Structure 1
Amino acid sequence: MRTRPLKVALLGCGVVGSEVARIMATHADDLAARIGAPLELAGVAVRRPSRVREGIDPALITTDATALVKRGDIDVVVEVIGGIEPARTLITTAFEHGASVVSANKALLAEDGATLFAAAEKHGKDLYYEAAVAGAIPLLRPLRESLAGDKVNRVLGIVNGTTNFILDRMDSSGAGYSEALDEATALGYAEADPTADVEGFDAAAKAAILAGIAFHTRVRLDDVHREGLTEVTAADIASARRMGCTVKLLAICERAADGKSVTARVHPAMIPLSHPLASVREAYNAVFVEAEAAGQLMFYGPGAGGPPTASAVVGDLVAVCRNRLGESTGPGESAYTRLPVNSMAEVVTRYHISLDVADKPGVLAQVATVFAEHDVSIDTVRQQGRLDSEGLGGEASLVVVTHRAPDAALSGTVEALRKLDTVRGVASIMRVEGE
């Protein structure tokens, strides 16, 4: 074993960063044996230096992250501060000054991964980022390395634990969205401002990363169609249950049937209870991969939190340090296919549409005509009369489940339905996936 340690600079010492430092200290001997050299925490960049950080030498704390990454003796920079800037500049500066980088920054990788990959390649350094998607679940490296000889056609996943917890509670207890969100917040699964989770931004960033790796093409955050779950109601959950389905917020990355384009999207969807993803409960993550030769693969586990995310970070740290000792680098960006990313309008799937309609003869025929005019084939229809606010009849709920159709055709159908005098409102629209 080499006696000179490999020096590590840590950018950020919050929930994840402090856990990374703890693992490095607690398992120092094992890590050294696995790598072939000891690790040394050479500096920790933070915003609030006065804060007590248990187990970390105060002499290592600095507020000058730029000076830390510019040190010529740093072997690996671990970036867990998040956001676009200053993270992007710090990472590229680290490459320029001879360090490889391990990052958990999904937002930056989805927004401008191309800049980071180009800088890593230019300076002959590693950029590893397993922790950016699905926490401790070994996912990106199997996609990037184990399936490098295969053709991945589809990636379907639950990649946000907060939203899965909320939908699970709505399904298991009958709670409404607001009630389930309050419980998620109380348990620490949801942030004080849950927007990034519940509006799908977090999952969309992960979808961009997954699609880029799976299809060997560049997919940016702006390419990902995004819908959150704030409009999902208890009625949607109940309707899914009647269909033998459950509702999940899914990240879906697909190769087109002709192989010449891809799509990436995040939205709530109904999936059959028979699908493996339907049984993913609480705040867990799971990703279902469909490959040409390997077939169907599923990756499951805790997708967030300090220890799980730190586990992925340290796993990358070990790999990068091994490369460093061997004077080699791991696989970089693979974007040779340059496939175009289609818009949501071109996505073909099934739909569940709930309509509030007048309860009188001829309504179903009018609705069916609109679907036919837009080339959207109906699979099943369920109609149920109900009392209005004054306790009288005259209203009904009409639920239509379609066969597969382009999203653009469905959008045109819904727009035309809203113009019918007999349609009081479109209560909900949800896609049906995983069949």
Structure 2
Amino acid sequence: MEPASPLQIGDYRRYWLARFMGVFATMSMVVLLGYQLYAVARDDYGMSVAEASFQLGLLGLAQFVPLFLLTPLAGLAADRFDRRHVAAFANGIDGCVAAVLALITWADALNLPILFALAAAHGAARIFLGPSMSAIAPNIVPPALLPRAIALSSIAWQSASVAGPAVGGLIFASAAWLPHALSAGLLCCSMLLILTVRPVRATHEGPPLKPLRQIIDGLVYVWRERFLLGCITLDLFAVLLAGATALLPVFARDILFVGPEGLGLMRAAPALGAASVSLWLSFRPLQREVGMKMLWAVAAFGALTIVFAFSRHFVLSLAILAMMGAVDMVSVFIRSSLVQLFTPDDRRGRVSAISGLAISASNELGEMQSGLAAALLGAVGAVVFGGAGAIFVTLVWAWYFPELRRARSFEPQELKREVST
């Protein structure tokens, strides 16, 4: 009998748990890394709020540079090798980063160069993890269950994003090194668990291309397929501008005055909203007019970002962040499903790598943009500017990529007819 839910598939259950553990660990580590860097810049280096905010922007750049340089190799690896091994390797590297961070925190040996180096190593690990993990799911569930599998995978990601920063922030308050040690252990468990999934290697039509030609083929494919290009770049530019996340340490410490515990809750709030929507979508996935719903969700994200900038009440700020996560999840769910269903299996690794680069660029470069804008406009002005920019990008993309508006369903054959009309 065909399974009625992805959770009836043993490989998917192990994949889901490995994803949860890995995201829990990395989100806790990255949130606290930003807080520690901001604190070191302010307390040890005597920087002003504006100067320390700029350091947060540079932290995003430090994570993005290896992502940019290694994206072609990461996509190639996911399409040429066993995707389980690629994902396990990436988790192992990130586990080492967490272990080193725990050690230097315990030894009180933190400084800016070490923190930037660890951020770069984390960025390198992430770019190999993303394409391999994204490409595994379509190989272990039937195509009809893929939207639900993506929704359930998002629940793992978002619920871990809630629990990781919240638990990490609470533990950090009592022992600063302990959450990083926990992250190292969880990443090790995730690495071992993903290896228990059955071997996953991409299927190829015809003889495999040489590595360099294969990399170029993936880039050309995304460039020529306007629908994929529109989906990927919409997320890139909208979130790049509306990236308030990098400035949350500023809001936590100097605007809302809630400290590291409050920062953990603020980072967890968007994920809580997203997890709630993911749970709903796993039972009631969107089926019609998916392209327009994606565009409306991105515009709503920008509008809520502006509202967040003016909030001075902690509970209200948490509520707005949760709503931002909810509408962002609608966009992510639709875009992820459309990209996976539209892309042939032998190109999924490379397309996922390019999509992952866009997401990372929107996050890490968004953090740099936020840091630069905060140095010029202040934290509040930078967040308002970003939210308005996200709304503008949505309007431009809705006009320039009409294929996005024409996408009405998740049925692969019907989807290709709709966007090519």
- Quickly name the TM-score band, shorter chain normalised: under 0.3
TM-score, structure 2 length as denominator?
Answer: 0.25
TM-score, structure 1 length as denominator?
Answer: 0.24
- The structure with the largest helix share of the pair is 2
- The structure with the largest strand share of the pair is 1
Indicate the structure (1 or 2) with the bigger Cα radius of gyration: 1
Larger relative contact order (Cα-Cα within 8 Å, sequence gap ≥ 6): 2
